[in-house]
Amino acid sequence: MPGLIGPSDYSQEPPRHPSLKINAKEPFNAEPTRQDLILSYITPVDYFYKRNHGPIPIVEDIDRYSLAIDGLVEKPIHLSMAQIRLLPKYNVTATLQCAGNRRTAMSQQLKVRGVGWDISALGNAVWGGAKLSDVLELVGVSKFTSVTSAGGKHVEFISIDKCKEEKGGPYKASVPLSQATNPEADVLLAYEMNGEILNRDHGYPLRVVVPGVIGARSVKWLDRITIIEEESQGFFMQKDYKMFPPSVNWDNIDWSTRRPQMDFPVQSAICSLHDVDIVKPGKIRIAGYAVSGGGRGIERVDVSIDGGKTWFEASRYQKTGVPYVSDDVGSCDKWAWVLFEAIVNLQSGNADIVVKAVDSSANVQPENVMSIWNLRGILNNSWHHVYVRSTAAKL
């Protein structure tokens, strides 16, 4: 594409914050420390996890960049960044989460394939840009459309990057047209993140943000949007990011038996402590995040200090000074995480501290990771344990 190129090597990667935990160098995949992740409700760009499948694209001339929108539509077009910026701008606070978040813990139980992630492969940002539903009207697709007159049912997002899984081709993914044309779904063509122009790691100059859905569908470095009849046939839709039962292995897997994963399940994790930690007896702070997909709020965060035998409720919050009420659009950000906190009095000895969340549809995290084990290690939302001892106790 004129103005935007996808490099074939890693010689021109952007700088990154030195505190990030690097899980893979090429392509670059990294996450913040647990403590840095929950320093604020809005995740600073430097601490937002980096998930890539190839070298980071380079903008050579922003004035020559344009986004193609074509396929099963009445009037295909090309839009420059200046034209996109003329459309009504929306700011949407949304948490993006990699489907592989907490993969390392799942792999410790039984080996899985994929980049290892601790609990910080997610982040919460204010995304600024044009609603996709507005953009699609420019090619003759009205709001709340499920099928175009030419038979289009899905919206495919195609990047400019180069992925080995696509044999050097671009990353691509799709969402149903009904979701893309629904203004209340808040699907954005984003050019800002936390009030600033996107940086290269996060999709400059333009990316899609699909709130409430695994991060794999929020394609960065957009080259083209195509309206198609069937869902995208790209690798990451058809041969990855699908949820299989524990009985499926690499010898008997049949990718066609599962639909591509979209919404992520209810999730929570403790960020104020390490998985094995030492503290002084007395009051300790247990803090972390909870989030659910599909716009579902967090109804409750339960904490236990005895491995799940007894529970008490943690406080939940988003905006400072504003009480959080699950699914109250007037007081909460429906697509965003909540942070939680509890102060407990820990006596001398060992403690198995556990957290689990319940969302507004009464979905609750499963207790046992092996009940949701899958060969790609995605969607590990089992109870999160940390094992703590006081300075007077031995493990």
Q: What is the pLDDT of residues 138-149, one digit of tens each?
A: 999 999 999 999
Indicate the average pLDDT of the chain: 96
Is residue 395's pLDDT more than 70? no
322-339 mean pLDDT: 92
335-349 mean pLDDT: 94
- Chain segment 195-209, per-residue pLDDT in tens: 999 999 999 999 999
221-233 mean pLDDT: 98
What CA–CA distance (Å, rounded) separates 209 from 353? 34
Q: What secondary structure letter does DSSP report for 216?
A: G
pLDDT value of residue 344? 95
Tokens 């400059």 correspond to what residue? Answer: 204
pLDDT value of residue 392? 60
- Three-class secondary structure of residue 358 per DSSP: strand
Q: How confident is the model at residue 291 (pLDDT cuts 50, 70, 90)?
A: very high
181-197 mean pLDDT: 98
pLDDT value of residue 390? 79
The residues facing 125 across adjacent strands are 94
pLDDT value of residue 391? 72
What pTM was estimated for this model as a whole? 0.96
349-365 mean pLDDT: 96
Is residue 329's pLDDT more than 90? no
333-345 mean pLDDT: 97
Q: From residue 128, how far is each of 14, 28, 87, 104, 193 by CA, in Å?
A: 22, 25, 12, 32, 6
Is residue 294's pLDDT more than 90? yes
Percent share of the chain, pLDDT over 90 = 95
pLDDT value of residue 1? 61
pLDDT value of residue 351? 95
Backbone angles phi, psi at 215, to 5 degrees: -60, -25
Q: From residue 252, how far is each of 188, 234, 248, 258, 373 by CA, in Å?
A: 38, 21, 6, 13, 16
148-164 mean pLDDT: 97
pLDDT value of residue 260? 98
Is residue 2's pLDDT more than 80? no
Q: How confident is the model at residue 347 (pLDDT cuts 50, 70, 90)?
A: confident
Q: Is the peptide bond before 205 cis (omega within 30 degrees of 0)?
A: yes
Query: Which amino acid, one-letter code, is at 282?
Result: G
What is the Cα 56 distance to its own chain's centre?
18
Q: How confident is the model at residue 36 (pLDDT cuts 50, 70, 90)?
A: very high
Is residue 75's pLDDT more than 80? yes
pLDDT value of residue 393? 45
What CA–CA distance (Å, rounded) separates 351 from 346? 8
Let me know if 61 is exposed, middle or buried by CB neighbors in 10 A (0-12, 13-18, 19+): exposed
Neighbours of 284 (CB within 10 A): 20
Is residue 394's pLDDT more than 80? no
